[in-house]
Amino acid sequence: MFEHFRLFFICVFQINVFFDTIPLSIKLKEHPVFLIFMQIAVISIFKSYPTVGNIALYMAFLPAWNHLYRFLRNIVLVSVVLLACSALFPVLWHLWIYTGSANSNFYYSITLLFNVAQILLVSDYFYAYLR
């Protein structure tokens, strides 16, 4: 439908990662390991087609900063949303693809909510690290 905007959207979504790199590099220049964690998280959040492997990669780094857990403000909310979305992904996929009784927008809204929870998690860790 909007085929003439396809290249524009591809460029905007892909260049978004580079716009986040410069401010993060300036702010975290003395903490390169945390900078790598933040970059991996931002890249996996803004991927066109997110997978479990992308999320598992940066979540594997979270135990390295367990001392920040006491400074996190939204950890309960983020955990509940991530678990609820993880439970709803296969259900809505099955309803959409196999039974045809659900709309594709249901699945994509869960994907959007999952990405919002990831953004809250990463920003919460970032602010906790800066304290």
DSSP label of 98: I
Instruction: Determine the Cα–Cα distance for residues 94 and 102; give it in Å rounded to an integer.
Output: 9
CA dihedral over 82, 53, 64, 15, signed as positive or negative: negative
**What residue numbers bound the domain in which 79 lies?**
3-130
Provide mean pLDDT across the span 10-23.
83
Helical packing angle, 104-130 and 75-94, nearest 10°: 160
Confidence of residue 1 (pLDDT cuts 50, 70, 90): low
Provide mean pLDDT across the span 22-47.
91
Domain total in the chain: 1
Q: Note the pLDDT tens digit of each residue in 64-113.
A: 999 999 999 999 999 999 999 999 999 999 999 999 888 889 989 999 99
